[in-house]
């Protein structure tokens, strides 16, 4: 269980992120076209899992915009932006914000993603949502970097994510 903060107050997740060096657990989530997408669909690519509470917050939106511009320039890399928001909200957000280089995915059909990856918030105001976290997976499916953002209301360390991809 990870202890993190939400607006300075301590909250807990259901577990821990996968360990660096481990094989990333497969999952199935839903894209904006309501189709199932799995981690296996991206085998052979660098995959950045950007896990967030909701697109309807300024920090989550800023993270999506930043990854849309910075990581889209890296070869053989895909960003999977994952929240509990419905695919309809993902589609609206991407259209409004001009997000074209990030794949948004919802776990509304497959909530086991949050528990498998250890990001399900267990208490506090965001109970039931996902903590803000990053998992970088190499083309062989091995976890090379993780970050459980210590304060949910702050952005991840973009420089560390980029460094993990080089």
Q: What domain range includes position 105?
A: 3-164
Least confident range of 3-17, 22-36, 105-119, 129-143: 3-17
Confidence check: pLDDT of 38 > 80: yes
Average pLDDT, the chain: 93
Check if 94 is active-site.
Answer: no
CA–CA gap between residue 20 and residue 166 (Å, rounded): 16
pLDDT band at 95 (very low <50, low <70, confident <90, very high): confident
Taking the CA atoms of the chain, what radius of gyration do you get in angstroms?
14
Domain count for the chain: 1
CA–CA gap between residue 110 and residue 163 (Å, rounded): 31
Catalytic residue among 2, 4, 39, 60: 60
* 93 vs 105: which has the higher pLDDT: 105
pTM: 0.94
CATH code of residue 152: 3.40.30.10
Query: To which H or E segment does residue 93 belong?
Result: helix 87-97
* Strand ranges for 52-97 from DSSP E: 77-83
């Amino acid at each position: 269980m990870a202890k993190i903060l939400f607006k300075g107050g301590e909250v807990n997740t259901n577990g821990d992120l996968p360990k660096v060096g481990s094989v990333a657990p497969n999952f199935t989530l839903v894209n904006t076209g309501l189709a199932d997408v799995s981690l296996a669909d991206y085998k052979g690519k660098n995959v950045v899992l950007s896990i967030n509470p909701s697109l309807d917050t300024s920090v989550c939106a800023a993270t999506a915009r930043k990854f849309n511009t910075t990581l889209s320039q890296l070869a053989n890399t895909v960003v999977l932006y994952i929240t509990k928001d419905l695919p309809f909200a993902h589609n609206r957000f991407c259209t409004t914000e001009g997000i074209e280089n990030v794949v948004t995915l919802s776990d509304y059909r497959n909530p086991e993603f949050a528990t498998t990856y250890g990001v399900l918030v267990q208490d506090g105001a965001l109970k039931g949502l996902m903590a803000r976290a990053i998992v970088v997976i190499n083309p062989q499916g091995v976890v090379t970097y993780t970050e459980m953002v210590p304060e949910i209301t702050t952005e991840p360390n973009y420089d560390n994510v980029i460094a993990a991809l080089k």
